[in-house]
Amino acid sequence: METEILSSDMVDARVAPKGSLEHLSQQEIAKLLDSGQGGLYRQLRNCALAVLNSGGKIDDARLIFEKYRDFDLRIVRQAWGIKLEIKNAPATAFVDGVMIRGIKEHLFAVLRDVVFISNEIVDSGRFDLGDSASITNAVFHILRNARILEPQTKPNLVVCWGGHSIQRDEYEYTKRVGYELGLRALDVCTGCGPGAMKGPMKGATIGHAKQRIANGRYLGLTEPGIIAAEPPNPIVSQLVIMPDIEKRLESFVRLGHGIVVFPGGAGTAEEILYLLGILLDPANREQPLPVVFTGPAASADYFEQIHRFVGATLGKVAQSRYQIILDDPPAVGRAMVHGLAQVREHRRRVSDSFGFNWLLKIPLDFQRPFDVTHASMSGLRLAHGRPAHELAADLRRAFSGIVAGNVKEYGINAIERLGPFELSGEPAIMEPLDQLLRSFVAQRRMKLAGAEYRPCYRLVA
C-alpha cells in the first residue's frame, strides 16, 4: 500500500483489495465513479468515509461529511487488478502509514455490497422489490454473497440492540453481558456502531478467548443512511451494508436466534417496535425467539418507561414476548442458552434452516422502505382500532423518521428547510409517546454530544 501523510488529520493512500473484488468490469467502475443520477459514487464515497472514520465522536452525518469535504476516492485499474486511490482520508485509519487491517476489510466490504446490490438486486430484474417473498429472497442473496450464511451452523447467534449514545455504566454493562455470552460459546451480531453495538462484541471477545474459541463471529449490519453516524466499530469481523433500514432489520431477525436489547433511544425503540410487530402477527404465534431487555440497575426507569409504552400502545400480549432482567449479566446468558435450545428444537421440528429463518412471516408493511418526509410522517395512523401488529408498523415508521431527523443527512436537511416533523394521533397513544420521547431527551439518548437537543418532531393529539 502506498501512503502519503498530508497532516496529522489526513492521509492519501492506494489500497489493494484482499480476498474479494480484485477485479471489476469497466461498466462497474464507470457506475461507481459516476456522481450523476443512477451513479454509485456518492453512496460509495459516504460509506467508505464512514468506515475510515471508525471511532469518531460525531453522530451528525452532515457534520462528518463537512469535516471531510475534501475526501475523495477513485478506482485505479492495473494489469493485475484494481486499487482504491484515497485522498484526504482520516489519519486514524492508519498506523505508521499502513491502513489498519480491519478497516481495510470493512472498506472492501462496502465496495462488495455496493456493487452486488446495484448489479444483482436492483438492476438485474431478478427480484420484485414490491413482493414480500421476493424481498426476503433478496435479503438472503445479499447475506449469502457476503458469506454470512455458514453451512451447518448451530443456533448460537445473539443479536444485540441498543443505543450509540449511552452512559458509561450502561456501556460497561453491555461488555459484561457480552462476556457472559462469549463464555457460553454464543456469537454476537449488532448494528456495528459504537455504544451498545460495540460493548457486547468487546466482552464476547474475552469470553471466547477464555474458552479458547478461535472462530467467534462478530457480525455488523448497517445501511447507507446510518453508517456515517454509526461507523463500524473495529471488532466487527464481518460487515454487511444492506440497501435500507427495512432490509437491515429483516436481516437481524432472520439471522438471529435470540435478541438482547440494551438501553437506547429512538433507533432502539424502532427496533423494538419492528420486532414486536412481527411477533404479534398471528402467523408467528408459535415462533420461539428469546428476547431479553437488560441494563444496569440505574437503567430501571428506562425499561419501565419502555414497558409502559408497549403496554399502552400494543397491549399485554406484546409485553409477554420479552422479559426484563436488570443488573444480572449471567442471568441474561442463561436466558439466552435456554431460549436457543427451544429455537433449535422448533427449527428441527418444522425443518427450517438454522442459519436463516425462512418460516418467520414478515408482512410487506414491515419490508417496504419508508420514505421519511413531512407528508409521510404526518400521514401515519397512530390510533387503536386495528390489529396490534399493524399499529406497530406505523409506530416503527414514526421512530424511523425521528432517527432520520436526528442523525441522517437528508433528514437533518429536511428539518432545516421545513421545520420539525409532525406526528398526530389519538391521545391514548400520543400521551405515552410524548412521555417516552421526553424521557429519551432528558436522559440524553438522542445524540452523542453537542449543544442542547432540539427535537426534530412535534406531537399533535
Sequence spans of domains, the chain: 2-126, 150-461
Whether the Cβ atoms of residue 391 and residue 425 lie closer than 8 Å to each other: no
Give me the half-sphere count of Cα atoms (radius 13 Å) on the Cβ side of residue 169.
8
Question: Three-state DSSP class for 102?
Answer: helix
| Average pLDDT value for residue range 163-176 | 92
Which of the 8 DSSP states describes residue 332?
A: H
Equal CATH topology for 2-126 and 150-461: no
Which of 325, 311, 273, 287 lies closest to 428, judged by CA? 311
**CATH number for the domain whose boundaries are 150-461:** 3.40.50.450
Instruction: Please say if the pLDDT value at position 262 is more than 70.
Output: yes
Instruction: Please say if the pLDDT value at position 363 is more than 80.
Output: yes
Reported as a pLDDT band with limits 50, 70 and 90, residue 73 is confident
Whether the Cβ atoms of residue 363 and residue 281 lie closer than 8 Å to each other: yes
| Average pLDDT value for residue range 282-293 | 95
- Determine the pLDDT at residue 65: 78
Q: Which CATH class is domain 2-126?
A: alpha beta
pLDDT, one tens digit per residue, over 379-391 is 999 999 999 999 9
Instruction: Please say if the pLDDT value at position 24 is more than 80.
Output: no
Lowest-pLDDT range, 28-32, 100-104, 327-331?
28-32
The three grid cell numbers given for residue 23, joined into one nine-digit string: 477485479
Instruction: Please say if the pLDDT value at position 290 is more than 70.
Output: yes
The three grid cell numbers given for residue 461, joined into one nine-digit string: 393529539
Q: Which helix (DSSP H) or strand (DSSP E) does residue 435 occupy? A: helix 427-442
Distance CA 326, CA 260 (A): 12
pTM here is 0.91
Instruction: Please say if the pLDDT value at position 146 is more than 70.
Output: yes
Burial of residue 87, with CB atoms counted within 10 A of its CB: 0-12 exposed, 13-18 middle, 19 or more buried: middle
Q: Which helix (DSSP H) or strand (DSSP E) does residue 91 occupy? A: none
